[in-house]
Structure 1
Amino acid sequence: MNTTKSFNQEKGRFIDKFALNRCFSFAKILLFTIVVLNHSTTLVNAAPKALRADIHIRNIMNTVAVSPSVRIAKDPRNNTLYYLKQNGDIYQVNLALSTSTLVYNSSNHKVSETQGMAIDRNGTIYLVGNANLVNDQTKGIIVKGVINSATGQRIWSVLAKSAEYPKSKTAYDHRFNGVVVSPDGKFIYVNSGSRTDHGEIQSNGGLYPNTREVGLTACILRLPTNGQNLFLANNRATLKTSGYIFAEGTRNTFDMAFAPNGDLFGAENGPDRDMSEELNWLRLGHNYGFPWRIGGTDNPQQFPNYNPANDKLLNPMFNAVQKGYYYNDPTFPAKPNSSLDEPITNIGPDADNYRDPQNGQVIDASVIGKTISTFTTHRSPLGLVFDTQGVMSPEFKGDGFVLSWTPGDPTGETLPGPFKDASQDLLDLKLTKVGNTNYQLQARRIVEGFSNPVDSEIIGNKIYVLEYGGNQGIWEVSLPTN
């Protein structure tokens, strides 16, 4: 089995196989999971490597099991770490002993396919999952576990459920996944990913004719944390009237985080075409362009003269290209009249390679004095965190940090992943606001060699990285303090 190819057909985009039906692309994830399980007794992780002498790394523990690890989060009250399995198991980590204990599972919270977890300042756990329904439909489920002051255990209830909506039955059913709690604890923000690669028709073999995105997909929802049994209609206008739509035009913002100044940022997974991966400053009522603008460039399928045979950004190693999802598309919907927000620009020096659409050559943008929006294509940025406490040394104080999930080719373009970019690393992001319109950032690689890192959490000057691949390790990355 060519595990690299099968694992990266959609570049690890996180979708409904997180439920073992397909954030990350689970037509590949399932194959990769089978390989991991079949070799779990002999698999040896290569340890990640710090790229600076003042950064130190240690392995806390390995979490490999029947169900993959997908999220890690801290309880802000006491900095206790928890990690989440795809099947809904929640483990509490003892950092001193490098052990973990199963504390909740689907019998407690009733969600058996989970993709998102966050914990608020009161210790309430929020889980985001999905259900598989008849006729290839799905629905999102958000539950919360509120601490019972008498017992110390959490009492689980449904915060919100969505209406049923059609899956595309492709590697692009991203579904409900990422979740973050607002600093004041009043809201959670939940990502609902796209059901298409780039806005193409996905009819599920004719079951849902002429269907592209639907009301519940390709958006970020904002829900009150005190909600109970909220209903999320599969209708964009109804969702807006109810006040549930926070942002639109997001393909799959699998990770979100608040910066020290309270601004919300989201890391965006891009399509199978060689278009840059995004980091966006997320704001209420804004549209981030999908499917018309992706990675700071136009989606060519919206134009009547599009000929994929002449498209230099289509790589035959990728699933959507192989299956002919890029085609001349006269019925592609018109771009909305409202303005579309652009991604944050990356001025380098790292994670800033792009393919020239005119000649197909791979270029390092910062070497020639250019910028891209935001990261090298196919990196799959995940695990976004910020130094909100300002405890790090001046060089890193207040910075963001993001993981990159997909294995890349550090010297060429031989893999279905980032080109001339090893990826699977931890980037330091030095963000600078540009007026009141956007940000720009400097990206620097500070740790390399993770095995499909999927999520991270930050406690003081330590970043805890959770891997999906290999032995599914939890690694402690200690950065210099002030």
Structure 2
Amino acid sequence: MNKTKSSNQVQRRFTDNFPLKRFFFAVQAVLFTITLLFTIVISSHSTIGVNPTPVALRPDIQVRNILNTLSDSPSVRIVKDPRNNTLYYLKQNGDIYQVNLGSSTSTLVYNSSNHNVGETQGMAIGPNGTIYLVGNADLVNNQTKAIIVKGVINPATGQRIWSVLAKSTGYPKSKTAYDHRFNGVIVSLDGNFIYVNSGSRTDHGEVQSVDGLYPDTREVGLTACILRLPTNGTNLFLANNRATLKTAGYIFVEGTRNTFDMAFAPNGDLFGTENGPDRDMSEELNWLRLGGNYGFPWRIGGTDNPQQFPNYNPANDRLLDRRFNAVKKGYYRNDPTFPVRPAGNLIEPIPNLGPDADSYRDPLDGRVKDTSVLGQSFSTFTAHRSPLGLVFDRLGVMSPEFNRDGFMLSWTPGDPTGETIAGPFKDPGQDLLHLKLSKIGTTNYKLNATRIVKGFSNPVDAEIIGNKIYVLEYGGNRGIWEISIPTN
């Protein structure tokens, strides 16, 4: 979850893999004088802003605070054990806490001394109770490696035994705010595989040579993809070579920039939220299918990345906002060696028909417009929202309006009336959206997005138990909030 550096870099370790970068720029734009965390460098150990009280936008939805997880290390994931619906949350330093919903307390149950991963960004629990953790470690020469461990319960003793499921070889970071590294993970419904996101090392496919250490390097074999690994694996080796990974059967999809969160719908289809670049290009929700290429870096947010074209002139690009790091650093440039778009179909994001999270900047006149007001759709969410925390009513327990639908968080604070900050424009962000998805034949879905709760402090992840959605905040007091949705 890493994304920004110095003022931007102070935040980088966490945002290296995630959408936090947006927050840093949003705060910078509003306050101008405060250096905050976008990429939220976990090393700063600071919270983000004050803690607001979330507000339901309809009277039949209830919101209550379960507890605050405030400590030196930020909270990054919240998951349930599907066997008994026990909630757990993960700190970026590897601490795992069990939540007691009855008493609104939590207990530390595992830490890095148990699982040997010191910097974690992903956690999931399989149908048999096995815990999977995804972490990253820095190496010499500005390289990084991924570490994926599993904690299996010994049926004889009831103790959890930790082991390495997979490790990657070292691969080059970009030494920028865009080292997203390994983060999101989900277990297949049958428990046989995990899907692990490896984000991009670039903002939009530009060369990031690390001061010449890695000449002409853009994305590499281990970045900008989602891997599928067998859960019965032990010490699997992940090479930094796309062909080798494909031969081993480890590549699930390609062309994803940073799918920080994934969730299965009631029909078994897998969806992923996609975090976009510093250019005003839309954020995505994708239907993820084996072998698919989702377009990065040639197609982003349902539109072409203009840097792939030989006549690109950034001075004429109305979607470049100087408040964003990649724009200020000159990463948008005429780029005659940009890789040729691959042959075959690139899978497009899911179109959003509104009424919410559907603002865009018109590339012709540079003005912010509302697609649903204009009777249009676009793919998928307002730029810089940083979509996270995707869950579905898989059990079908909610009232007809929400039954078997999706719900999604948005990390970044925005400007609901204009574009005064570098967050989502004419869009408030930091909310919970209701996603009404409809299938379009066998090729894609469409959705309607509606805000139902507002006022979170950088919500980073969500879990669902029955009709209750549990939202974990990265900012403020790092609260856990219970959102009760009407039932049948």
TM range (shorter): over 0.9
Distance in 1, matches of 2:125 and 2:210, equals 36
Distance in 2, matches of 1:119 and 1:378, equals 29
Post-superposition CA distance 1:103-151 (Å, at most 9, x none): 0000100000100000011110000000100000001110000011233
* Change in CA separation of 1:373 and 1:8 when aligned onto 2, cut-off 3 Å: farther
Give the residue type in structure 2 aligned to 1:102.
L
Q: CA deviation at 1:455?
A: 0.1
* Structure 2 equivalent of residue 125 of structure 1: 131
Q: How many residues align?
A: 470
Structure 2 unaligned blocks of 5 or more: 22-36
* Structure 1 equivalent of residue 431 of structure 2: 425
Give the residue type in structure 2 aligned to 1:230.
L
Give the residue type in structure 2 aligned to 1:342.
E
Please tell me whether the aligned partners of residues 7 and 29 of structure 1 are also in contact (alpha carbons under 8 angstroms).
no
Write the mapping of 1:17-96 to structure 2, written as runs, cut at 5 A. Answer: 17-18=13-14, 23-25=18-20, 28-30=38-40, 34=44, 36=46, 44-96=50-102
- 1:316 alignment partner, one of 301, 314, 322: 322
Query: Is the counterpart of residue 350 in structure 1 residue 356 in structure 2?
Result: yes
Q: CA deviation at 1:22?
A: 7.6
* Change in CA separation of 1:378 and 1:44 when aligned onto 2, cut-off 3 Å: closer
- 1:240 alignment partner, one of 242, 246, 254: 246
Query: Is the counterpart of residue 331 in structure 1 residue 337 in structure 2?
Result: yes
Write the mapping of 1:29-428 to structure 2, written as runs, cut at 5 A. Answer: 29-30=39-40, 34=44, 36=46, 44-428=50-434
Give the residue type in structure 1 aligned to 2:59.
A
* Change in CA separation of 1:56 and 1:119 when aligned onto 2, cut-off 3 Å: same
Q: CA deviation at 1:46?
A: 1.5
Distance in 2, matches of 1:21 and 1:196, equals 11
Distance in 1, matches of 2:7 and 2:373, equals 28
Distance in 2, matches of 1:111 and 1:32, equals 15
Query: Is the counterpart of residue 448 in structure 1 residue 422 in structure 2?
Result: no
TM-score, normalization: structure 2?
Answer: 0.93
- Is the partner of 2:245 in helix, strand or coil? helix
Q: CA deviation at 1:31?
A: 5.7
Distance in 1, matches of 2:160 and 2:433, equals 35
Distance in 2, matches of 1:164 and 1:458, equals 36
* Change in CA separation of 1:479 and 1:25 when aligned onto 2, cut-off 3 Å: closer
* Change in CA separation of 1:79 and 1:453 when aligned onto 2, cut-off 3 Å: same
Q: CA deviation at 1:30?
A: 3.7
Distance in 2, matches of 1:245 and 1:120, equals 20
Distance in 1, matches of 2:216 and 2:368, equals 35
Please tell me whether the aligned partners of residues 7 and 28 of structure 1 are also in contact (alpha carbons under 8 angstroms).
no
Give the residue type in structure 2 aligned to 1:443.
A
Distance in 2, matches of 1:433 and 1:33, equals 43
Please tell me whether the aligned partners of residues 8 and 406 of structure 1 are also in contact (alpha carbons under 8 angstroms).
no
Give the residue type in structure 2 aligned to 1:23.
F
- Is the partner of 1:457 in helix, strand or coil? strand
Structure 1 unaligned blocks of 5 or more: none
Q: CA deviation at 1:45?
A: 1.6
RMSD (Å), alpha carbons: 1.9
Distance in 1, matches of 2:205 and 2:182, equals 18
* Change in CA separation of 1:68 and 1:98 when aligned onto 2, cut-off 3 Å: same
Please tell me whether the aligned partners of residues 345 and 374 of structure 1 are also in contact (alpha carbons under 8 angstroms).
yes
- Is the partner of 2:183 in helix, strand or coil? strand
Please tell me whether the aligned partners of residues 381 and 403 of structure 1 are also in contact (alpha carbons under 8 angstroms).
yes
Please tell me whether the aligned partners of residues 46 and 72 of structure 2 are also in contact (alpha carbons under 8 angstroms).
no
Please tell me whether the aligned partners of residues 49 and 449 of structure 1 are also in contact (alpha carbons under 8 angstroms).
yes
* Change in CA separation of 1:269 and 1:439 when aligned onto 2, cut-off 3 Å: same
* Structure 1 equivalent of residue 34 of structure 2: none
Q: CA deviation at 1:17?
A: 1.0
Please tell me whether the aligned partners of residues 8 and 417 of structure 1 are also in contact (alpha carbons under 8 angstroms).
no
Distance in 1, matches of 2:45 and 2:69, equals 16
* Change in CA separation of 1:118 and 1:28 when aligned onto 2, cut-off 3 Å: same
* Change in CA separation of 1:22 and 1:78 when aligned onto 2, cut-off 3 Å: closer
Distance in 1, matches of 2:341 and 2:223, equals 17
